């Protein structure tokens, strides 16, 4: 049962918490422990100056690095990993501070960091939090993306495969996932996080490190709903097709149409809604 895993040992992305479990309409209860997804702040400093705080699920330094690179790429601060010369963990949090991680980044040029609206704060639920104006929400990226046609059967296959790879969700029920697939349905990268936008940042960061950006020949599987922040990041990475098991928002549909992205929602139980650029979806 999701949310009541007993055996796995907690790592950086899991915590074991006390819980009172009720059964039979509350007629009986037991005290036990439950595995939950970790949510903790990651403070990013650029050359010693605070620039952003991301509420994320830590997965160790490797995933934090992917998250940082993906976030900076999607914010237009960098376009290649070599522009971040060093990521150093800083241990100067005060004793009463929320448990988290502070990293100091050294960029190839300090002026590059001006692309972030100081001070940027991103919650687990919203990747746009911290923006200071409506104008700063403008979405970059291409408007004429590549990507060939895809059969509906392949959409269902990648969503089912993504679900099978959601280990942390199976243990906690408390995270989202973004899965990147090739045009033939081969898994390239899948990441989980309490924030769906963080999961996508991690995937984009991993792609940046692998040198495969732009992602014009790929498909993106999303575990939940699709909002503004998913389209914004997909547009920056030139991902042409997004398939989700949940619903899109009105702004997500509008932006997907504007940026040439095929947006698929409610892809489950043998059916789907194609909200934008339906020409890429066809029967094989």
Instruction: Enumerate the active-site residues.
Output: 126
Find where tokens 């296959």 sit: 157
How far are the Cα atoms of 81, 175, 218 from residue 44, in angstroms, in the given order?
Answer: 16, 22, 29
For the chain, list the strands marked E by DSSP.
Answer: 14-23, 28-37, 40-46, 49-56, 84-90, 101-107, 120-122, 176-182, 187-193, 218-222, 241-244, 262-268, 271-276
End-to-end alpha carbon distance in the chain: 37
DSSP state of 79: S
Query: For residue 194, which of 67, 98, 56 has the smallest C-alpha distance?
Result: 56
Other residues' Cβ atoms within 10 Å of the Cβ of residue 217: 16
User: Hey, CA dihedral for 191, 193, 197, 202, is it positive or negative?
Assistant: negative
């Amino acid at each position: 049962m999701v949310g009541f895993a007993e055996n796995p040992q907690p790592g950086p992305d899991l915590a074991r918490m006390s819980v009172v479990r009720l059964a039979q309409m509350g007629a009986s209860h037991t005290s036990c422990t439950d595995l939950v997804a970790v949510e903790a702040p990651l403070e990013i400093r650029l050359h010693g100056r605070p620039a952003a705080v991301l509420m994320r699920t830590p997965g160790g330094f490797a995933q934090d690095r992917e998250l940082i690179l993906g976030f900076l790429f999607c914010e237009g601060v960098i376009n290649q990993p070599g522009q971040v010369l060093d990521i150093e963990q800083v241990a100067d949090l005060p004793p009463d501070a929320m448990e988290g991680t502070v990293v100091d980044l050294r960029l190839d040029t300090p002026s590059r960091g001006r692309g972030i609206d100081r001070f940027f704060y991103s919650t687990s639920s919203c990747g746009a939090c911290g923006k200071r104006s409506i104008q700063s929400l403008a979405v970059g990226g291409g408007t004429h993306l590549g990507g060939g046609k895809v059969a509906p059967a392949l959409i269902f296959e990648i969503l089912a495969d993504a679900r099978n790879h959601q280990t942390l969700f199976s243990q906690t029920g408390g995270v989202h996932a973004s899965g990147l697939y090739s045009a033939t349905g081969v898994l390239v990268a899948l990441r989980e996080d309490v924030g769906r936008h963080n999961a996508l940042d991690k995937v984009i960061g991993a792609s940046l490190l692998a040198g495969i950006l732009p992602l014009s020949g790929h498909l993106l599987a999303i575990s939940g709903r699709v909002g503004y922040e998913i389209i914004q990041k997909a547009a920056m990475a030139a991902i042409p097709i997004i398939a989700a098991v949940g619903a899109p928002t009105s702004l997500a549909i509008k932006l997907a149409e504007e940026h040439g992205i095929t947006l698929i929602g409610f892809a489950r139980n043998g059916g789907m809604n194609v909200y934008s650029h339906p020409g890429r979806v066809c029967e094989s």
